[in-house]
Structure 1
Amino acid sequence: MNFAPEFPVIVVTEAHYELSKNEMMGSKYKFWFQHQELGRCLYKQARQNLGEDWAEKVAAELCKLLGLPHAIYELAETWEGNRGVVSPNFLPEGGTLVHGNEILTPIVPNYPTFVNYGASQHTIDIVLRAIEADRVSLPIGWAAPSGIQTAVEVFVGYLLLDAWIGNGDRHHENWGFVRNKPTFTSGETVHLAPTYDHASSLGRDLSDEQRQKRSVEAYANKCFSAFYSSVDDKKPLKTFDLFYQVAHAYPQAAHIWLERLESVSRANILTIFSRIPNTHISSIAAEFAQKILEFNQYRLFTLRESLP
């Protein structure tokens, strides 16, 4: 029997909100605040009945099992009773996050900087070439598995994660670089950012009624990424097809991340879901999400047979 404690739920107070008003970004549903233990944190409010909070938390815990560098997410509630997640700032002091659209705009003619979805110029080849640049280092403070030496090989792991959890939201603002300010001993450094923003995954968008009627296989097979194979394509690559393509371009890295995936057991996954409070996720949603992971894990293992 599993006696793992439930994940804590951080309470974001009205005082936190009032102190951060001048730091609001985008909308009232997302703001930075200072937490006593965690330091500077981003609160992101989940939309009602869409499971964005538990999906984000589960994905972060799966990243931990894979050994991927990732943003930390904690379940949260506000003084008003709204649910969301809290994520401690992963930037070093003086560091800045440079999103993918800022990276690609100067190097891709007529790049649609402000279009997150349907941007066919967001091709996987262009993105991989940008990350392959010599100046892009491994994520800050992260110990790489044996055999993983470059930022692009880490990104292969991010795409394996996307294929596993069915994450369709890695658009050009959901990956990027961390620019670290120069010091007395070295100049400015540029690092791959940890993976972040995984809420659009694990079938969290479905209602329980839909989950009871929907085939897990059919749902998993329809998960699209935000990457295109060619600028002329009408639709983006599916998450599995994307990883298949990248795995054949970087087979050594793909084998390493697939080995990490193989080390994750069904019991590991069950423990994560058992720690989500039942006030945040239904048993039907938890079961459907676990079946997605099991099905995608099997598909990824069969892909390994085609790799050199």
Structure 2
Amino acid sequence: MKKYLQPDKIENYSGFRAGLGKIEILKKHQYYVTDQPVSGDAPKKFIKHYEYGEAAKRHPNKWPAFIAKTGHKWYPIESITEYLLNRLGETLGIRMAASKLAYGGSQIRFLSKYFLAPDQSLVHGAQIYAGYFGDDQDFVEEIEKNKLAKELLTLQITQKAILKFFPIHAHQILEDLIKMLLFDAWVGNNDRHFYNWGVITDVKGRQTPYFSPVYDTARGLFWNYQEQKIVSLSKNSKELEAQIKKYITGSSPKIGWDSEVDINHIRLVEQIAKYNFGLKRESIHDLFSDDNLRKCEALIS
């Protein structure tokens, strides 16, 4: 018997009520929940979902797979924010995991398309760090648990770890990781821990390893604000500007920089640009070109 999405427990409500005419409705004859487990803090289910042109309706086992996530900490703005950030990343030309919003199990879900093909494996950042530190996974986990990632897992250490794991393809992998970090700095994502990025490998060693599409980008400006508060801020320009400046200053990465204490996103970007670390300064300008920024502004408006 097929299983379907059920309502997940919600911690906080943002107050937004979406018109479902704008969001795809998951019909029971077009999706089902599989038994494949999915890790993470947010409620997630692995589903198969029919999409026109992907596979025939009569072969549900061949339908594309998605991870259906409920933004339970601040519903539904958390999921809507994640979708918006994904669209912004795509607009900048960053390879993002294909995604969409959908309504199923009486809740709005963020659907991220499963991007691993058969015979592919995702080597998480945690595994790459563990390999660098003598295959000591527990040590790496303790670093995150004790909030020492910025101090011990710096960008320089990350580069060395990638070089050790993927010596031939490290340059391109590092370049794509830097683009992800620049994107995180731009949108204010401060939750890019080492399970939220990785490298895709061919388990049979036939294909070139490459940096994964960017996924799990659910944190940004006002993601945990109620709608009423945002409306109130929009009517007070000074307070709105103060809130934005506070967020910009306080937004920080999980990956740090050697000899920098409690580095924030702005400082990390400055250091990357100053030393052309993994990406030339000209490429950074291209990423955030006036044309790209205008496209992003048009997307938001």
Describe the SS at the equivalent of 1:224: coil
Give the Cα separation in 1 of the matches to 2:21 and 2:87: 11
Q: Which residue of 1 aligns with 2:155?
A: 124
CA-to-partner distance for each residue in 1:54-105, whole Å, 9 max, x for gaps?
A: 221111111112111111221122232x222001111122211111111111
Q: Which residue of 1 aligns with 2:300?
A: 273
**5 Å matches for 1:1-308?**
9-12=23-26, 19-20=33-34, 22-26=35-39, 29-37=43-51, 39-47=64-72, 48-49=74-75, 51-80=77-106, 82-108=107-133, 111-113=139-141, 116=144, 118-120=147-149, 121-132=152-163, 134-135=166-167, 137=169, 150-182=172-204, 187=206, 189-208=208-227, 210-211=229-230, 212=233, 213-214=239-240, 215=242, 216-230=244-258, 233=261, 235=262, 237-250=263-276, 253-264=280-291, 267-274=294-301
Q: Quick check: 2:124–2:196 contact (8 Å CA) kept in 1?
A: yes
* Number of corresponding residues: 252
Alignment-mate amino acid for residue 26 of structure 1: S
Q: Percent identity?
A: 20
Give TM-score scaled by structure 2 length: 0.72
Gap runs ≥5 in structure 2: 1-19, 55-63, 234-238
Of stretches 173-182 and 114-123 in structure 1, the one that deviates more from structure 2 is: 114-123
Q: Quick check: 1:57–1:74 contact (8 Å CA) kept in 2?
A: yes
Q: Quick check: 1:100–1:172 contact (8 Å CA) kept in 2?
A: yes
Q: Quick check: 1:156–1:247 contact (8 Å CA) kept in 2?
A: no
- Aligned-residue Cα RMSD (Å) equals 3.1
Describe the SS at the equivalent of 1:98: strand
Q: Quick check: 1:156–1:243 contact (8 Å CA) kept in 2?
A: no
CA-to-partner distance for each residue in 1:247-299, whole Å, 9 max, x for gaps?
A: 2232653321322211445652343234xxxxxxxxxxxxxxxxxxxxxxxxx
Describe the SS at the equivalent of 1:105: helix
Q: Which residue of 1 aligns with 2:7?
A: none
Describe the SS at the equivalent of 1:173: coil
Give the Cα separation in 1 of the matches to 2:228 and 2:22: 28
Describe the SS at the equivalent of 1:164: helix
Gap runs ≥5 in structure 1: 1-5, 139-148, 275-308
Displacement after TM superposition at 1:9 (Å)? 2.3
Give the Cα separation in 2 of the matches to 1:106 and 1:176: 13
